Chains A and B, each alone.
Chain A
Amino acid sequence: MMDAAPLLNVLIKYWLPFIAINVVIPALLAPLLDGIERRVRARIQCRRGPPILQTWYDLVKLFRKGAVTGGPIIFRLAPYIAFTVSILTLSLIPTLLNASLSFLGDTIVFMYLLAVPSVIISIGSIYTGSPLASVGSCREVSLWMAYELVFALSVATLAIDRSSLLLRNILPPYPPLHPSTILAIAIIAFLTYAEGGRLPYEIPEAEPELAGGIVLEYGGAELGLVKYALLVKRITLSTLLIDLILPRTWLTSILRSKMWFLGIGQVVVSATYISLLVILSITYSAIEALYGRLRLDQALSVLKKSVIIAGVAVLAALMGY
């Protein structure tokens, strides 16, 4: 009992502010970014578009309905697991603050956690036995396996280049920058788009084909959680890309040396982070507006090509390029 007080002290002093700033704020931002994307897409489609807060309104509406889903226990639990895990994933990489939860092998954990929401929701949907949801789940799993392979190869490239399995060593864009590193970052940039379930890769849901597919059987708060989990996953992926290109410590240190106010560096980094998120969202939604949905086999053949490129990147990294 003697140890409880210092531990609590640490928790209040460091962890709660960290979680509040680094995890909660981005999570609250995620639906807003979706609101911006919807607005941008609408403008490109000659529509006026919904208010920026619309995604939040939608989510709140769903949450207020409460839990309405029945069915197998795994199916009912899946949204909660998916949402929790996606929040956990977000805490593993630096967002607003330069810091993150960091521990040995966190790269591997991050990769696994990133995949959990897709897998758990696929399993849940298959358990309902609904044909459309099952087809959606099969598509999700097929795509997920392809994504994971490409993702694993790209992360392996970075890990070899930096000779580390710690995210805080792998992520920041500091020398040595080999050609293989740049190739791996380019592949991850593509993955952050595709894995976010954007057109033309929005195949498991495919409203006109599967009536929502993988999320078809969910309703109310559970549907809200599934949607929210996807939004958090999107912001995690965007953050990953930003972390790969934003030189955080350099920016902080340069500002610290020039300015008398110590916190200014962190403030500038956070502001840059948020503006990059918005820029990425606008770019992604503009790209999305120009595409139709691919068929699964067409999408997989694109991903097959990226597996080959990622494989080349790994080989190059092993050879020291």
Chain B
Amino acid sequence: MQHSWVTNGCRELVDLLSRYGSVEEVGNAYLVKVRAEDLPEVANELQWGLGGYYSTSVGADFRPIDGTYKLYHIFSVPQCSRYVVTQASLPPSLPKAPSITPVIPGANWGEREVRDMVGIEFEGHPEPKRLVLPHNWPEGIHPLRKDFPYDRKLIIEGVDDEVEHVDELARKYQVVPIGPYHPALHEPEYFELYVDGEVVVEARYKGFMVHRGIEKVAESRMTLNQVPFIAERICGICGFTHSCCYCQAVESALRIEVPERAKYVRTILLEIERIHSHLLWMGVALHVLGFDTGFMAYWRIREPVMRLAEELTGNRKTYGANVVGGVRWDIREDHVEKALRILRRVREECVALTEKVLKIKEVVSRMKGVGYLSREDARRICVVGPTARASGLDIDVRRDHPYAAYGELDFRVPVRDEGDVLARFLVRYEEVLESVSIVEQALQNLPKTPLINEDYEVVPLRIGVGATEAPRGEDVHLVVTGLGNKVYRWRPRAPSYNNIPATLYMLKGAYLADAPIIIASIDPCFSCTDHCLVIDVRSGSSRFVSFRELVRGGYRG
């Protein structure tokens, strides 16, 4: 789905970028080398001037190469079908750059994670606090620097059993903890709600509790073609999109042509993954609303999809099909017929069930008007995926930055303006139907080419950006190839990373009873995102409270 105005938009974009530094085209991205002091201005131009979307920030320790730190900001510019990567080199003695968070609030987490992991300071950041690293992590040690060995075990004093706690709010309101272990969350995560009666007046979030350091492991001890397999293990629900995204980043960096058939196989598996993920979510959402019959029914519909994935790849999940340059499994002729049959059934059953569910007044009334996120807020926090599309932002990587076989297939991107939980439910429902249609088209048009292109050379220090539309939204990976068949820097950014901050906006003023469905409505994938702490409080008014005290609830009122 190419737009006719792509070339014009691109010229404008290139002109804009050339004002700040030299522009290089890498696959679907423009790499522009800018001076650090220009960053807020470039960010402002790209996000608000040109109508792009901030994706993420990446820090890299290039001291062994050229004695600098590199800071990348990644933007998606949908009308040009291009990503823009701004690269700023920072001196090793005092790596610092002006923060772009005042311009784009959505950059808050990205910059803080860079600060934690690589040690680049951001001047003018409204919240210069730790995000990923625990409170008791020693100062001045940054795990993603190259002089920090991946197998070094730090002896850390004390236990990080503390959460940020806002005194003045706690005095006035009841504090209701959701997490770190809570039936509505399924993963360790901590939301602290300040509740007046049954109404949430303020919300805080702390995550990144099970950070696994996948980036460090990949950079330190894995080869280029092993990383797809660890990338797939970032998430237990949408892992394939991560391995796909990584492979695309490497393919883009090394200019590898992927055979047509491989692109189609990837598309089919990506969409099967989306179908199962959305059906899973729709079930969980109903479970959170207490409607377990709907939960079971959606999961029953989902089961044949899991079995189909198992038939196609050998695994219900974590397909392990992607390698750089193509895929490892083919789709056999006899699979096509069977898959089409299953998909037809999934579509029929999903339509019938959803129509029934939407007729149940009690269920719909719990979703309608609940967890509202305005278009403006969605844009400022840079949310992605169904969360963005339910708030009226018409973005979808599959259409805006065609990858795999999406450019050759016909599909619609559902967008709704209501901005509530029901809109997110309906967007996902419509996407299931679109995905079924995409898989059907792809299965019927499978090109007959080889599956994999292994004819490539690993050139060191090439940059590539990969982007896919995961079930939860835009998934972005930045790869810098390394010496000796390795990755020098790999940074995956899962969609929930951009979506979780939005829950705090949705929670304000909501009923406590609606909090779980609001948190669930972005389909949060904490393990993908892991480790964070969002808080917009003046630091002076915070104190720390131990979890033990919290469990006892000793500070009520």
Taking Cβ atoms with an 8 Å cutoff, the residues of A that contact B are 41, 44-47, 128-132, 134-135, 138-139, 199-200, 202-203, 206-209, 211, 289-298
Contact = CB atoms under 8 A, between A and B. Distances in A.
A128 B553 contact: yes
A208 B184 contact: yes
Contacts of A134: 174, 553, 556
Interface string B288-325: 11111111110010000000000000000000000000
Of A134, A292, A297, most B-chain CB atoms within 10 Å:
A292
Contact of B293 (A128, A290, A295): A290
A293 B289 contact: yes
Contacts of B177: 131-132
Given A130-B552, A130-B553, A211-B183, A135 B512 contact: yes
B514 to A, nearest CB: 7
A295 B296 contact: no
Interface in B63-95: none
B287 interface: yes
A208 B174 contact: no
A128 B294 CA distance: 35
Interface in B536-557: 551-554, 556
Nearest to A42: B296
A112 to B, nearest CB: 28
A131 B553 contact: yes
B291 A135 contact: no
A131 B176 contact: yes
Nearest to A200: B362
17 contacts: A45-B296, A47-B296, A128-B553, A129-B556, A131-B175, A134-B556, A135-B174, A199-B291, A200-B362, A206-B290, A208-B288, A209-B515, A290-B360, A292-B290, A294-B362, A297-B511, A298-B365
B458 to A, nearest CB: 48
Contact of B176 (A41, A129, A135, A203): A135
B195 interface: yes
B360 to A, nearest CB: 7
A295 B516 contact: no
A279 to B, nearest CB: 21
A132 B181 CA distance: 13
A298 B293 CA distance: 21
A130 B555 CA distance: 10
B38 interface: no
Interface in B167-194: 174-177, 182-184
Nearest to B514: A295
B184 A209 contact: yes
**A-B CB proximity, top 4 nearest:** A293-B290, A292-B291, A45-B296, A292-B289
B366 A129 contact: no
Given A134-B174, A209-B512, A293-B290, A46 B553 contact: no
B470 interface: no
Nearest to B301: A46
Given A129-B554, A131-B176, 10 more contacts: A138-B198, A139-B198, A203-B513, A290-B293, A292-B294, A292-B363, A293-B289, A293-B362, A297-B511, A298-B365
Contact of A292 (B175, B184, B360, B556): B360
Contacts of A293: 289-291, 362, 366, 513
B383 interface: no
A141 to B, nearest CB: 13
A45 B512 contact: no
Contact of A131 (B287, B289, B291, B556): B556
Contacts of B289: 208, 292-293
A290 B286 CA distance: 12
A291 B291 contact: yes
A292 B292 CA distance: 7
Interface in B255-293: 286-293
A295 to B, nearest CB: 4
Interface in B97-113: none
Given A291-B290, A291-B362, A131 B174 contact: yes
Contacts of B176: 131-132, 135
Contacts of A138: 197-198
Nearest to A130: B553
A295 B511 contact: yes
Contacts of A295: 366, 511, 513-514
A207 B290 CA distance: 8
B553 A129 contact: yes
A203 B513 CA distance: 9
A57 B516 CA distance: 31
Contact of A45 (B292, B515, B553): B292
A292 B554 contact: no
Contacts of B362: 200, 291-294, 298
Interface string B509-524: 0011111100000000
Contacts of B198: 135, 138-139, 296-297
B508 to A, nearest CB: 17
Contacts of B551: 130
A118 to B, nearest CB: 18
Contacts of B183: 207-208, 211
Given A291-B291, A292-B290, A293-B290, A129 B512 contact: no
